[in-house]
Structure 1
C-alpha cells in the first residue's frame, strides 16, 4: 500500500474523478490531493471529504510546482487534444521533478509502433510525454488506453438502432473499455508495488471490427441493425456531426482509421490482471447503455 501522498490531475473530469473516488475507498482523504482549473466547482465534493484541492493550469508552471509539493505519486491525466499538449505536459513533468515527486502514472493512448498511423494531435504528444518521463529520473508507469466504451457512440452515432451503422470499414479490430475499469487499474498501480517503469496496454478481452458492430449491437438489443460501409468523405459529412466542434469530424475519422488499421486490436489481458476481474465488454455495455443518455465526451 502506498505510504506517500497521491495527487490526481484532471480530477474534475470523468476518468480523474472516478480514479479519486476509488482511491478514497482504499486510502484516507489526508493522503490524497486533487487539482483542477476550477476546484471550487469541480472538486468541491472531494474537498468536503477532506481531500486537499488546488487550482492548477497545465500552462501555469508555478501553480503546478506549488501543488506538487509534498507529493510522492501523481496520476497524470493527459490534456485535451488541440490545446498544445506538448507544452502542457512538459510543464507537468518538469514541475513534478523539481518538486521531488517520485512516481508519475500517465494516461497515454494505445498504439501499434511502426504501424504508420498517427492520431491527430495525440500520438506525437503522447510519444513526447512518454520519452520525457523516461528521461526525467522519476519512476513512471504508462497506462495505454484504447477507445472508451462510454464514448464509442461518437464513432457509430447515437441513433444506430434506427439509422444503422454508417462508418468506413477496415480489417482491423478494437477492444474498447470503460473508464470505470481504467480507473480501477489506475488505483492498482498507484497503491501497490511492482509497477514502476512499466508500460501497460489496457484492452478489453474481446476485439471486434467496425464491420461487426451492427451484428453485436443487434444481438445485444434483440434487434436487426443495418450496416453500411461508407466512404471517408461520406463519414466526414455525416449528419451526426452537425452542430459539433468543427474539428470533431476529422478527429473522429482519425480514430476510425486507427481502428481499421488495427491500432487497438491487441488484447493483452493486462487490464484484467490489474483489476482482478474481467473488464466490461462491448456487448454487455451496449445492452444496458445504448442509446446513450448523455451525448458528450
Structure 2
C-alpha cells in the first residue's frame, strides 16, 4: 500500500488530516513530518510514524520523504521565507521519489486583483512550481477558516456588536475539520491527480449576516456596525489585539467585503459526501456566555 506523509503534523490542519486519514487507512500507511517529533505524542499513541523535518533543511527533507508515495504539503507560516521552504519541499519530494503532492493554497479566483500579503503570491508560486515539477499534484484551495470569524469580529461581538469596515461581500467559510477530511479523501483515493478544488463552505455569509446569526442564536440584538478601516483597527486594539494582528485581520476583512471568497460552492460537499458545517452551526456550537470561543 502507498505510504502517505503529511507535513506540519503537529499543527492544526496537519494533525486533523492525519486523524481523518487514520479513519480510512491503517496507521502503518501514514507518516507525519514535524520539526519537533516530541510534540507528536498523540500521533505516536495512534501508531503513526513521525519523522523529523524542517522546510529550511533540504537534505533532511529528502531523508524524511524516502519511501513516500503521496505528500500533503501543508503551507508554511505567513511572514517567513515561504518560497524557499515550499521549493525545498517540492524539490526534495522529487529527489526522494514521491509521486503525488497535494497542496492547500488560499482560493484566488481567476482575474482577481486582490492579494493577501505574504500569502497569495507565494501560493501562486507553489502552484507554478508544482505544475513544472513533473510530479502529479492536486490543489485543494481553501477559503477563510470558519474558526477565524471570531478573530475578524472580536470575541466580544455579542456585547459590542459586529464592528467591521463597510462592505456587503460574502465568504464561503469552511471549518478546519471539514477541510482536513477533504484532504484525507483526496490523499486516500485515486483519481484526484491534476485536479483543482475550491473548498468553499455553503452558504456564504457577510458580516451583516454574521450579526444576524448571532442575534438569532443568542436571543438578543447584536448590531452590525460598519465603519472605517481605522475604526476597525481601533476597535480590535481596544479589545487587546496587537496592532499588527489587527492590520492582518483587516486585510482578510477587506477581501471578504470585496467578495474574494464568495465563489461557487460544491467541491467540498462533493468530496465529503455531505453538507459541510455552516457558519450558523459553528457559531451556535461555539457561543460561550458573552464571548465567542475560538476553536483551534
TM-score by length of 1: 0.94
Query: Which secondary structure does the structure 2 equivalent of 1:187 belong to?
Result: helix
Question: Who is 1:98 aligned against?
Answer: 95
Measured after TM superposition, the shift of residue 211 of structure 1 is: 2.5
Structure 1 residues 218-227 or 60-69, which shifts more?
Answer: 218-227
Deviations 1:191-231 (A, max 9, x none): 11111001100011201222322112211222210111010
CA distance in 2, matches of 1:233, 1:56: 41
Partner of 2:265: 268
Q: Distance in 2 between matches of 1:49 and 1:211?
A: 43
Aligned CA-pair RMSD: 1.5
For the residue of structure 2 that corresponds to 1:35, the secondary structure is: strand
Shift of 1:246: 5.0
Q: Which runs of 5+ in 2 are unaligned?
A: none
Residue in 1 that maps onto 2:121: 124
Deviations 1:218-270 (A, max 9, x none): 11222210111010011122245765455312211111111111110013210
What does 1:154-165 align with in structure 2 at a 5 Å threshold? Answer: 154-165=151-162
User: Could you tell me which residue of structure 1 aligns to residue 225 of structure 2?
Assistant: 228
Give the Cα separation in 2 of the matches to 1:181 and 1:156: 22
SS at match of 1:170: coil
1:16 paired residue among 5, 14, 17: 14
2:289 is aligned with 1:282: no
Matching of residue 182 in structure 1 with residue 174 in structure 2: no
Q: Does 1:292 align with 2:292?
A: yes
> Can you give the 5+ residue segments of structure 1 that lack an aligned partner in the other structure?
none
Q: Distance in 1 between matches of 2:67 and 2:244?
A: 39
Q: Give the secondary-structure state (helix, strand or coil) at the position aligned to 1:247.
A: helix
Which SS does the other structure have where 1:255 is aligned? helix
CA deviation vs aligned residue, 1:85-121 (integer Å, no higher than 9, x gap): 1111111111111111010010111122222110011
Pairs aligned (count): 293
Which of 32, 36, 39 is the aligned partner of 1:38? 36
Contact 2:103–2:138 (CA<8 Å) still a contact in 1?
A: yes
CA contact (8 A) 1:34 1:53 kept: yes
Q: Which residue of the partner structure matches residue 71 of structure 1? A: 68
TM-score by length of 2: 0.95
- 1:241·1:249 contact (CA, 8 Å) conserved in 2? no
Q: Which of 23, 26, 37 does residue 25 from structure 1 map onto? A: 23
Structure 2 residue 152 is matched with structure 1 residue 152:
no
Superposed CA deviations along residues 124-146 of structure 1, whole A, max 9, x for unmatched, are: 10000011011101111101111
Separation of aligned partners in 1, 2:59 and 2:99? 19
Q: 1:169 touches 1:211 (CA, 8 Å); kept in 2? A: no
The secondary structure found in structure 2 opposite 1:20 is helix
Aligned CA distance change for structure 1 residues 294 and 201 (closer, same or farther; 3 Å): closer
